[in-house]
Amino acid sequence: MEKDENKISQEIPEMELDRKYVDKKIPMANSSEKERKEMDKTRKEFDKLKNLIIKKFPFTQSLSILPPQGIKFFIDEEEIPKETEKYLQLYMIIPEDKFKEIPKIKQEIVKILGATQEKLKQKIWIQIKTPVDVWETCMDSKFEMVSAIAMSMPIFDTGILSGLRVAEIHKSMVLQKFEKYVVSYVIGGSFVRGDTIKESDVDVFIVINDTDVKRMPRLELLERLRGIIYGYIAEASALAGVKSNTLNVQVYLLTDFWQSVKDAHPVIFTFIRDGVPLYDRGTFMPWKSLLRMGKLKPTPEAIDMFMSMGDNAIKRAKKALLDILIQDLYWSVLTPSQALVMLYGEPPPTTKETYKVMKKIFVDKEKMLELRFIKTLEEITIKYYKGYEHEKIKEVSGKEIDRLLKDTEEYLKRLKELRSQIEKKVQQKTIDQIYEDVFNLLKITTKKKAQAAIVESFEKDFIKKGKFQEQDLKAIKKLIEAKAEGKKGKLTLHKSDEARKASTMLINSLIEYNQRRDMTNFQRGKIIIKYAQGQIAELITAGGKSFLVEGSIIKKLEEKVEMSSMEELSEAMNKQKEEKNISINPRVFELLKKELGDYEALF
């Protein structure tokens, strides 16, 4: 086990992948053979029952039998009678506009169930829900119940059950690989909005925590994670037994996702608004609540709000009594100070530490702020506020109040100037980092090194040939212009934000293009092998070598069949990225025949 974990860790360095995850919800795949046989015996009778129900209620969206292991969750949460734990549980989903008719529908179905119960000699309990009920269950974090619905035995389905099942299986595979780093696994789009059809894609958003990954570049981390997670899609679809309901998966790093939230990106806001979590570690639902409350706003507005508190507070301080005066003076200098520390990129300090942090950063390190302003901050937040709080200061003379008001006004005026200084410095640092990230990707894409050669090649070989859009070339030029203006000290906030937002979209396009190119090259060297009563294996040819992959077992086919490893396969696949052609030694097929017996190659 330790050896396997080491192999996996080499795929994603710096991430301690959790290989011990097991589905803590409904282990339907582990149901006993006896239970599965019993379920199969009932299928014929339930087919008859299905026809009667569909004929009576043609708007039905799905009918299924809940797995025995999951019934207890419904008994606990839905206040279903305890004795029904031994019943067969029929789960029915109907459109939301039929919600008010549920009592009437249930009465009719109970009548229909009579004959089926007699033939099966088994009592049946019916639950009738709408898709909204299912999504509310997700948002209440009752993931065990959702898992039971997803893994129930389908009798009739218009698409909602199969879509939920393939997402549930894919989620379990992702969590088994690196549960510790998955922040949220969320479904959304038309599937959740209710306008899905049997062939609808299932939109999935996965947010990965990258805050403790330091040595690996974040772009490389995102590319590797996407490769692994996308690789599970076909396997999840096969395990779910569905050919439609393709998973459309988007993977976000937590830091990028939060940046998009602060930028008010419409796609992210739509995702938060419509999304329903199948797994959440207490992050997605707070975002959803904050969005509903109108609290998710772009960072500039948030900083403006903090800064404006000082101006508003100083106006109130001039008119207030002593207790109000001191408190308002305190907040008027403390909150903007904390805001600028955050703008600089540091976490907000505590009250006692704020003047020390301000001095350390802006006086000692950056030489941006005069020491006298730190003394003003310390005097108000420590001497007066703490003195007032501990009843050491009981009165302040009018002359002293006038001085404090004047010092505070000067402090706030100086902080506004300091904000501009910080923004310019942060903007330049941000643009420099984005420039480096973008041109590292462009070097990989164009195979050029110099900036001029990269831009020329990108326009000639990629834009004009329709591989990228004109806006991608404009994004590159904006980034180059922003970097140049930053060196001259003329970079504006507007131009910096414009270049950063355009570059974010460009980075995603470049990553996806390189992945598609690598995947296309890889797929050409992959053959599905069917042998021995339907067993499936993969023949992968890459880097001049051929490998037979049977589950977790990897074998190399050269002069003979030898055991291999994921490291050797990965090395061959990386080598294949540099090669255009793939050739298979005819000897490989002889070795396959010797190893597997009769087989069929599925191209």
Q: Break the chain into its structural domains and give their ranges.
A: 20-158, 174-297, 525-602
Scan for tokens 């020329």, then name that residue: 456
What residues pair up with 203 in beta bridges, in sequence order? 188, 248
> Packing angle between helix 322-344 and helix 351-358, nearest 10 degrees?
50
The least confident of 389-393, 411-415, 454-458 is 389-393
Q: What are the start-end ranges of the E strands in 492-583?
A: 526-531, 535-542, 545-550, 553-557, 561-563
458 and 446 Cβ atoms separated by less than 8 Å: yes
Distances in Å between the Cα of 208 and the Cα atoms of 176, 179, 252, 257 are: 14, 10, 6, 9
pLDDT of residue 3: 40
Parallel/antiparallel/unpaired status of strands 553-557 and 561-563: antiparallel
Residue 579: pLDDT band by 50, 70, 90 thresholds?
low
Residue 22: pLDDT band by 50, 70, 90 thresholds?
very low
Per the prediction, the chain carries an average pLDDT of 81
Distances in Å between the Cα of 363 and the Cα atoms of 317, 342, 351, 372 are: 28, 16, 18, 10
pLDDT of residue 167: 92
pLDDT of residue 26: 41
Residue 17: pLDDT band by 50, 70, 90 thresholds?
very low
pLDDT of residue 101: 92
Distance of CA 409 to the CA centre of its chain: 44
Average the pLDDT over 37-53 and give the result.
77
Average the pLDDT over 433-437 and give the result.
85
pLDDT tens digit sequence for 207-258: 988 887 776 787 788 888 888 898 888 888 888 887 766 788 999 999 888 8
pLDDT tens digit sequence for 115-155: 778 777 788 888 999 999 999 988 888 888 999 999 988 88
Residue 171: pLDDT band by 50, 70, 90 thresholds?
very high
- The pTM score is 0.47
Please state, in angstroms and rounded to a whole number, the distance separating the CA atoms of residues 343 and 549: 51
pLDDT of residue 432: 83
289 and 198 Cβ atoms separated by less than 8 Å: no
pLDDT of residue 24: 44
Residue 19: pLDDT above 70? no
Pick from 402, 237, 435: which is nearest to 329 by CA? Answer: 402
Tell me the three-class secondary structure of 297-332, residue by residue: CCHHHHHHHHHHHHHHHHHHHHHCCHHHHHHHHHHH
Please state, in angstroms and rounded to a whole number, the distance separating the CA atoms of residues 543 and 547: 11
The least confident of 462-466, 491-495, 504-508 is 491-495
Indicate if the alpha-carbon torsion angle 215, 218, 219, 222 is positive or negative. positive
Residue 491: pLDDT band by 50, 70, 90 thresholds?
confident
Q: Which DSSP state fits 134?
A: H
Residue of higher predicted confidence among 511 and 92: 92
pLDDT of residue 496: 78
DSSP string, 246-313: -EEEEEEEHHHHHHHHHTT-HHHHHHHHH-EEEEESSSHHHHHHHHHTT----HHHHHHHHHHHHHHH
Scan for tokens 């009738």, then name that residue: 128
Q: Which residues contact 482 (CB under 8 A, 6 or more apart)?
A: 431, 491, 495, 496, 498, 499
CB atoms within 10 A of CB 402: 11
Q: Which DSSP state fits 579?
A: -
Quick one: which H or E segment has residue 127?
A: strand 124-129
DSSP helix/strand/coil, 468: coil
Residue 14: pLDDT above 60? no
Phi-psi region of 189 (alpha: psi -120 to 50; beta: other; left: phi over 0): left
Parallel/antiparallel/unpaired status of strands 88-93 and 124-129: parallel
CATH 3.30.460.10 holds for 174-297: yes
42 and 65 Cβ atoms separated by less than 8 Å: yes
Residue 31: pLDDT band by 50, 70, 90 thresholds?
low
Contacts 24+ apart (CB under 8 A), 415-422: 415/307, 415/310, 415/336, 415/337, 415/340, 416/307, 418/340, 418/362, 418/368, 418/369, 419/303, 419/307, 419/340, 419/343, 421/368, 422/340, 422/343, 422/344, 422/368
Alpha-carbon Rg of the chain, whole angstroms?
Answer: 31
pLDDT tens digit sequence for 337-374: 999 888 888 888 888 899 999 999 999 998 989 999 99
The least confident of 86-90, 148-152, 523-527 is 523-527
Please count the residues of the chain: 603
Maximum distance among all Cα pairs of the chain, rounded to whole angstroms: 100
What residues pair up with 253 in beta bridges, in sequence order? 208
Residue of higher predicted confidence among 171 and 20: 171
pLDDT of residue 190: 81
DSSP helix/strand/coil, 532: coil
187 and 165 Cβ atoms separated by less than 8 Å: no
Burial (CB count <10 Å: 0-12, 13-18, 19+), residue 98: middle
Residue 91: pLDDT above 90? yes
